[in-house]
Chain A
Amino acid sequence: GAGVSQSPSNKVTEKGKDVELRCDPISGHTALYWYRQSLGQGLEFLIYFQGNSAPDKSGLPSDRFSAERTGGSVSTLTIQRTQQEDSAVYLCASSLVLAGPYEQYFGPGTRLTVT
C-alpha cells in the first residue's frame, strides 16, 4: 500500500507568516510522530499522537508550534509567526501501534524555508 505522504514537499514563507504542514500516515497506523531536521543537525522529536490524542508535547520548541490529528488519520503541524530558525525539514512518521518495538515509517518530509 501507500507509504506516509506529506504536503507540501517544499514551502517558502516570509517571516511572521503562519504555515500548515500536512501528514497522511499509512492506513491503519494508530501512532503518528513529527520530527524536524535542521541543516546540519540531527533529527529532533517534536510530538507524537496515539489516535487523536497527544500525550507528549514536550518536544515542541515553543508555543508557536501546535499539532492536531483528526479521525485518527491525517495530522497537521501548524507554526504561527514563523521565524528564520524554524527553517528545517519537517518529517512525519507512523507506526502500527505506539508501544513496543514496531518500526516507524517516515514520509519524505516538508522542506520549510523562512525568509
Chain B
Amino acid sequence: DAKTTQPNSMESNEEEPVHLPCNHSTISGTDYIHWYRQLPSQGPEYVIHGLTSNVNNRMASLAIAEDRKSSTLILHRATLRDAAVYYCILRDLTGTASKLTFGTGTRLQVTL
C-alpha cells in the first residue's frame, strides 16, 4: 500500500481554520485519498474522500494537489469538538480488499 506522511500534532484556536497536510508521493492513479478522524474514546469516523478534484462536505474540505502527491484537509472553523486524531489514508479503487491502513495520524488540539 502506498504510504502517507502526516505531522504528529497540530494546534489551533477555536473558530479559526485548520489546514491538516498529508504527503503521499507514491500514490497510484487508482488510489482514493480518504480522511478519517478518531475522537477520544471513540471509533474512527469518516470525514471526506477524493480522487483528483477538490471536495467539500458538511464536515470539511479536501484540497488535492494537481500532481496528487499531497493533500490538505481543511476545517473551516475549528471547534473544541474537532479535537481528535486525523488519519489520511490511501485506498485502491480497483482492489477488492478495501481494508483501511492507518498510520499514526495528526493529533489536533483545539484551544479557546
Interface on A for B, CB 8 Å cutoff?
4, 31, 33, 35, 42-45, 48, 50, 55-56, 59, 91, 93, 95, 98-109
**How many B residues, CB 8 Å from partner?**
24
Q: How far is the CA of A55 from the CA of B45 in the complex (A)?
A: 25
B68 located at the interface, meaning its Cβ lies under 8 Å from any Cβ of chain A in the complex: no
Specify which of B93, B97, B103, B105 lies most central, judged by the most chain A CB atoms within 10 Å of its CB.
Answer: B97
Q: Which residue in A56, A104, A105, A107 is a CB contact (below 8 Å) of B97?
A: A56
Q: Which chain B residues numbered 16 to 46 have a C-beta less than 8 Å away from chain A?
A: 32, 34, 38, 42-46
Q: How far is the CA of A98 from the CA of B99 in the complex (A)?
A: 9
Q: How far is the CA of A42 from the CA of B38 in the complex (A)?
A: 11
Q: Would you call A101 and B43 a contact (CB within 8 A)? A: no
8 cross-chain pairs, A with B, having the tightest CB-CB distances, nearest first = A106-B43, A103-B46, A43-B102, A45-B99, A101-B32, A42-B102, A99-B96, A106-B44
Give the A-B contact count at a CB cut-off of 8 A.
65
Q: Which chain B residues numbered 31 to 86 have a C-beta less than 8 Å away from chain A?
A: 32, 34, 38, 42-46, 49, 51
The interface residues of chain A lying within 8 Å CB-to-CB of B97 are 48, 55-56, 98
Q: Would you call B46 and A104 a contact (CB within 8 A)? A: yes
Assuming A101-B91, A107-B43, what are 13 further A-B pairs, CB within 8 angstroms?
A4-B43, A33-B99, A43-B38, A48-B98, A50-B96, A59-B99, A93-B43, A99-B98, A101-B49, A101-B51, A103-B46, A108-B42, A108-B43
* A42-B102, A42-B103, A43-B102 known; A55+B46 contact, CB < 8 A: no
Q: How far is the CA of A40 from the CA of B91 in the complex (A)?
A: 24
The interface residues of chain A lying within 8 Å CB-to-CB of B8 are none
Q: Would you call B44 and A31 a contact (CB within 8 A)? A: no
In the complex, 5 of the A-B residue pairs with CB atoms within 8 angstroms, ordered by the A residue number, are A43-B44, A48-B99, A55-B96, A56-B97, A99-B96
Nearest Cβ on chain B to A108's Cβ, whole angstroms: 6
B104 located at the interface, meaning its Cβ lies under 8 Å from any Cβ of chain A in the complex: yes
The interface residues of chain A lying within 8 Å CB-to-CB of B49 are 101, 103
The interface residues of chain B lying within 8 Å CB-to-CB of A102 are 98
Q: Would you call B99 and A101 a contact (CB within 8 A)? A: no
